[in-house]
Amino acid sequence: MFSPQQVLDYIKTRGGNVELRDLNHFGNSLIKRLEAARCIEITGRVGELKVSLICSNFDSKQQKNIEPTETIVQPPKHPEKAKLRKPKTPYRRLKPKKEKAPGIKTKCKLLRESMLNEIKKSNKPMSTEDIRTALTLNMSAKKVYYHLKSLEKQNLITSFDWHIIFWVSIEKKDLLNKAPAMYVPRDRNKALVLEVLKTADKALSVKDVVALLFLKLSAYTVRRILSILIQDGIAQSNVVPSNKEFYYACRDNTKAIISLQKLKKTKFSPLN
């Protein structure tokens, strides 16, 4: 650690005048202190600053309370560039971050909670279409069914399939006893299937009924209608042991009923 007197002695031994850069090893703060105490003088232009000795003795007792009044500022190497610098922009208050839109998982969770609440407050079993209508959901019944199955896997709701699936909460599963006993398709479709059975001269399979209908209906729809006719006591069915396929006949159609009874005893179906 150098003392002020050492700096003065260094300058004195070199004739009382030195380059400022020759004093770099003494430290900038010590040079400032000597300049404030008027022991040295710094003159010259940028890059050629010189230090001249004014007083060769530093009395620490008299100068201990003197603080530097000036600060040696090293000018920029390229003063023309310094003039071109833009002034610092004032501090700008940051805008609050926008809340992120909920992700897919969050949306699905909220949707299922809405479905569950709707089912819980209902006093009767609800079909998939009932739930979609109640919540005014802009999605297909198939997608609604997907979310309901997820709730069922979590053991939050339960269902029973009477050709239409009805849903209730686990706490109200006794309500399933109040669900419709069977889904009734449109009367027109039901009448068409019944007419085919009445005019047939033998028992018919589902494929046979579909083929004889002049209006195109799916095998699934025809099978549902046949189940209703059996439950209502209008038709009856037997399964052929050889191919395990069901055949149907109208109870008022004597020929078809006789054919149906023969099929039960036959190893191979003559209708295929």
Two tokens, residue 245: 């396929």
Please give the average pLDDT of every successive group of 10 residues along the chain, which has 272 residues: 81 82 81 83 78 77 49 56 60 66 84 93 86 87 90 91 80 75 66 94 93 86 88 88 86 93 63 40
- Answer for the pair 112, 150: CB distance below 8 angstroms, yes or no: yes
Residues 213, 193: contact at Cβ < 8 Å? yes
Give Rg (Cα) of the chain: 50
Closest by CA position to 134, among listed 113, 111, 150, 118: 118
User: Which residues, other chains included, contact 16 with Cβ-Cβ below 8 Å and sequence gap of 6+?
Assistant: 52, 53
Best CA proximity match to 212, nearest among 248, 165, 167, 263? 248
- Domains belonging to the chain, first-starting first, are 4-76 (no CATH), 104-178 (1.10.10.10), 187-265 (1.10.10.10)
Q: What pLDDT score does 258 carry?
A: 92
Full-model pTM: 0.36
* H/E run at residue 17: strand 17-19
> CA-CA distance, 55 to 37, in Å (whole number)?
9
